[in-house]
Amino acid sequence: MKLIAAFSLVLCHTISSATYASDEDCQFNPTVVIQSAASAIAETYILADKAQSVSLALSEMASSPEALRLCRDSESFAKLITEKIRTLSGDKHFYLEPVSPNEDSNNWIAQWRAEAPKNNYGVKKLELLPGNIAYFKLSSFHTFENARQSLAAAFTLLQHSDGLILDLRNNGGGDSDTATAILESFVDPTKPLPYVIETREKQHSPERIKELPWPAYGTHRPMVVLINGRSFSASESIAFSLQQLGRATIIGSASAGGAHMMDAPQTLPFSFEIGIPSSRPVSTLSKELVNWEGQGVRPNIKTSEQEILQVALEVLKK
């Protein structure tokens, strides 16, 4: 099977190279990029069975007119292939991006990192509501080293409240270490987290934070977590874990459904990169749910955006 795949790849590369060479205006060879992406997915994607079907289907469009006509537009080509892979896999974490020679990483991540200081490293809002209820909104999770100072200031201000609203609506995720540190602030550090990390080869327990650089909120004060359809990835991990542990009431609407986890992007020919999910959390407490992939975290209380804060306050007052 591997020999057949390798022969097919060489054959496609030979055919496409001739086609590509005939167009001197092309900036890159779409066929080569697509075939390289398909091979990377087959070797890396966390769901091995689906990886093969996605890889095969993607390879079939390697010499399609739809892809070849974009050989002078790397941005549009990357968008097309990203949408194709996400449709084939049902996995919203996949992406393919052109990389500028002046940047160390793909464009949207570089922009996200550059804007981090202006966004206070994800600490969007913190205020004290009537009844000594703290409201804490996080917009994203930047690297632990960069975000720790802003988070430490926030958790220091939270420590004297009698209840907490953690707002993760529209939080698209980010650094898993930072998300884990935030989760650790609300759970018993002597007990295991409610999931293990699974790769194709093995399962292992998530790494724990030995000592938080801020006051832990603890396990006894009531808290609710707000989510919506734009809560994604690491923010869903916090909501799912707190729900599984019975530590928080989840309020809002179902989240986006991105449980799979990414390593560093893989380099492709012609200055492209591809992000491929290579691991996933697996619940240790639920027999029905592996995780929230594809279906999202389901709120304990479903409510509208207009009523969500009022519902949260009513829950905390009970």
At 68-113, the pLDDT tens digits run 999 999 999 999 999 999 999 999 999 999 987 665 545 667 777 8
Q: Is the pLDDT of residue 278 over 90?
A: yes
Element (H, E) at 176: helix 176-184
Percent over 90 (pLDDT), the chain:
83
pTM for the model stands at 0.88
Q: Is the residue at 131 inside a domain? A: yes
Confidence of residue 15 (pLDDT cuts 50, 70, 90): very low
- Kindly state whether residues 59 and 120 are assigned to the same domain: no
- Kindly state whether residues 139 and 56 are assigned to the same domain: no
Element (H, E) at 166: strand 163-167
Q: Is the residue at 135 inside a domain? A: yes
- Kindly state whether residues 229 and 80 are assigned to the same domain: no
- Domain final position from 56, 75, 90: 90
Cα angle, residue 284 at apex, residues 280 and 288 outer, rounded to 5°: 85
CA distance 90 to 54: 10
The alpha-helical segments, DSSP class H, found in 22-96 are 30-44, 48-59, 65-68, 74-89
Q: Is the residue at 154 inside a domain? A: yes
Per-residue pLDDT at 17: 43
Q: Is the pLDDT of residue 117 over 70?
A: yes
Buried/exposed 123-146: b ≥16 CB within 10 Å, e otherwise: beebeeeeeebbbbbbbbbbebeb
CA distance 80 to 189: 44
| Residue 211 burial (C-beta neighbours within 10 Å; 0-12, 13-18, 19+) | exposed
CA distance 188 to 309: 27
Q: Is the residue at 10 inside a domain? A: yes
Per-residue pLDDT at 92: 96
CA distance 274 to 276: 6
Q: 87 is written with which tokens?
A: 């449709």
- Kindly state whether residues 148 and 71 are assigned to the same domain: no
Per-residue pLDDT at 12: 42
> Between these two residues, 93 and 4, which has the higher pLDDT value?
93
Q: Is the residue at 304 inside a domain? A: yes
* Amino acid letter, residue 29: N
Q: 36 is written with which tokens?
A: 């390289």
When divided into structural domains, the chain yields a total of 2
Q: Is the residue at 215 inside a domain? A: yes
Q: Which residue has the tokens 């179902």?
A: 254
What domain range includes position 35? Answer: 2-90
- Strand, coil or helix: what is 110? helix
Confidence of residue 24 (pLDDT cuts 50, 70, 90): low
Choice among 1-15, 150-164, 171-185 with the minimum mean pLDDT: 1-15
- Kindly state whether residues 120 and 44 are assigned to the same domain: no
- Kindly state whether residues 120 and 51 are assigned to the same domain: no
- Domain final position from 24, 57, 90: 90
CATH number of the domain bearing residue 236: 3.90.226.10
- Domain final position from 58, 90, 122: 90
Confidence of residue 115 (pLDDT cuts 50, 70, 90): confident
CA 208 and chain centroid, separation? 19
- Kindly state whether residues 286 and 143 are assigned to the same domain: yes
Per-residue pLDDT at 120: 93
Q: Is the residue at 173 inside a domain? A: yes
Average pLDDT, integer, range 195-210: 94
Beta bridge partners of 255: none
CA 267 and chain centroid, separation? 19
Mean pLDDT, the chain, as a whole number? 91
Per-residue pLDDT at 33: 98
- Kindly state whether residues 299 and 203 are assigned to the same domain: yes
Average pLDDT, integer, range 138-142: 96
- Kindly state whether residues 121 and 248 are assigned to the same domain: yes
- Kindly state whether residues 297 and 179 are assigned to the same domain: yes
Confidence of residue 149 (pLDDT cuts 50, 70, 90): very high
Q: Is the pLDDT of residue 14 over 50?
A: no
Per-residue pLDDT at 223: 98
Q: Which of 161, 116, 100, 312 is nearest to 227 (CA)?
A: 312
**Torsion, CA 189, CA 195, CA 196, CA 200, rounded to 10:** -160
Q: Is the residue at 39 inside a domain? A: yes
- Kindly state whether residues 29 and 157 are assigned to the same domain: no
Per-residue pLDDT at 168: 98
Per-residue pLDDT at 110: 75
Confidence of residue 140 (pLDDT cuts 50, 70, 90): very high
Q: Which of 107, 98, 90 is nearest to 30 (CA)?
A: 98
Per-residue pLDDT at 10: 38
- Kindly state whether residues 68 and 163 are assigned to the same domain: no
Residue 209 DSSP class: P
Average pLDDT, integer, range 288-293: 93
Average pLDDT, integer, range 45-70: 96
